[in-house]
Amino acid sequence: MRLSPLDPLHRVFAMGMSLAHDAAGRYEKALDWVEQILHAEPDYMTALLVKAAVCVHLDRIEDARAAVRQLLEAQPWRTVARTQRLLTRTSGPELAARSADALRKAGLPDE
């Protein structure tokens, strides 16, 4: 699928695609979409969270840890607990728990 690089909503669509692939366990495709976002917007925090979790699922631990380091530079208050509460409301408890476990492995602090 080709999208206009000038579309101001590209990030929203690409994030939706990334999250859908993540939820379905298609981690390579999720990573492809999230990388598109980060190419255009390297500091997009939600994309960094998704990248960290997806990279853990793909056993790319160093890439996951790098994404978490970048995230924590901008949001030092970010924790697994805060993220899991948000994800539980938006994505449901199962996906939130799976993502929380991955983010822990990537080095995001619990509290």
pLDDT number for residue 10 = 82
Q: pLDDT averaged over consecutive 10-residue blocks of the chain (111 residues)?
A: 64 92 96 95 94 98 98 96 92 92 97 88
Q: For residue 25, is it left (φ>0), alpha (ψ between -120 and 50) or beta?
A: left
Range of the domain at 77: 10-105
In a domain, 111, yes or no: no
C-alpha–C-alpha distance, residues 8 and 32, integer Å: 19
In a domain, 2, yes or no: no
pLDDT number for residue 3 = 55
In a domain, 35, yes or no: yes
Counting the structural domains of the chain, the total is 1
pLDDT number for residue 9 = 77
The CB-side HSE value for 51 (13 A sphere, CA atoms) comes to: 26
In a domain, 5, yes or no: no
pLDDT number for residue 94 = 92
- Global pTM? 0.90
In a domain, 61, yes or no: yes
In a domain, 110, yes or no: no
In a domain, 65, yes or no: yes
- CATH at residue 96: 1.25.40.10
pLDDT number for residue 1 = 53
In a domain, 3, yes or no: no
